[in-house]
Amino acid sequence: MLDRQTAQVERAMLPKDTRVVAVTSGKGGVGKTNIAANLAIAHAADGRDVMLLDADLGLANVDVLLGLQPRFNLSHVIGGEADIDCTVVHGPCGVRVVPATSGQTSMLDLPARSQAAIIQAFAEVSQQPDILIVDTAAGLSDNVARFTQAAQHAIVVVCDEPSSITDAYALIKVFSREYGLSHFHVVTNMTRDAADGRQLYLKLHRVADQFLDVVLRHIGNVPQDGYLKRAVQEQRAVVDAYPNSWSAKAFRQLASATGRLPTAAGASGGVEFFLERVLANRADASGETQ
Q: pLDDT digit string (tens) for 271-288? A: 766 777 766 666 666 655
Percent of the chain with pLDDT over 70: 81
95 assigned to some structural domain:
yes
203 assigned to some structural domain:
yes
The answer to whether 160 and 189 are in contact (CB under 8 A) is no
The answer to whether 36 and 95 are in contact (CB under 8 A) is no
Q: What share of the chain is helix, strand, coil (3-state, %, to 5)?
A: 50, 15, 35
Q: How confident is the model at residue 13 (pLDDT cuts 50, 70, 90)?
A: very low
Least confident of 52-56, 114-118, 120-124, 226-230: 114-118
70 assigned to some structural domain:
yes
Burial (CB < 10 A; 0-12, 13-18, 19+), residue 154, is: buried
The 3 state secondary structure assigned to 272-288 is HHHHHHHHHHHHHHHCC
| pLDDT, tens digit, 9 for 90 and up, residues 142-155 | 888 888 988 899 99
8 assigned to some structural domain:
no
6 assigned to some structural domain:
no
Rounded to whole angstroms, the Cα distance separating 282 from 92 reads 33
The pLDDT of residue 125 is 79
289 assigned to some structural domain:
no
Alpha carbon separation from 120 to 39, 49, 72, 271, 290 (Å, rounded): 27, 21, 17, 10, 15
Rounded to whole angstroms, the Cα distance separating 231 from 237 reads 6
11 assigned to some structural domain:
no
Name which residue leads in pLDDT, 122 or 81: 81
**Structural domain boundaries enclosing 150:** 16-284
Q: Which 3 state secondary structure label does DSSP give 210? A: helix
| pLDDT, tens digit, 9 for 90 and up, residues 86-143 | 999 999 999 999 998 876 655 556 666 776 677 677 777 778 899 999 999 999 988 8
Other residues' Cβ atoms within 10 Å of the Cβ of residue 224: 15
Q: Which 3 state secondary structure label does DSSP give 85? A: helix
Mean pLDDT of the chain: 86
Q: How confident is the model at residue 52 (pLDDT cuts 50, 70, 90)?
A: very high
Beta strands 131-136 and 50-55: pairing type?
Answer: parallel
Beta strands 183-191 and 89-90: pairing type?
Answer: unpaired
10 assigned to some structural domain:
no
Q: Which 3 state secondary structure label does DSSP give 227? A: helix
- Verdict on whether the full-model pTM lies above 0.85: yes
The pLDDT of residue 127 is 84
The pLDDT of residue 9 is 37
Strands (E), the chain: 19-24, 50-55, 89-90, 96-98, 131-136, 153-159, 183-191, 215-223
Domain total for the chain? 1
Q: Report the pLDDT averaged over residues 195-221.
A: 97
Burial (CB < 10 A; 0-12, 13-18, 19+), residue 6, is: exposed
> Residue 75 sits in a domain of what CATH number?
3.40.50.300
User: Residue 289: what residue type?
Assistant: T
The pLDDT of residue 273 is 66
Smallest CA-to-CA distance from 31 within 191, 194, 201 is with: 191
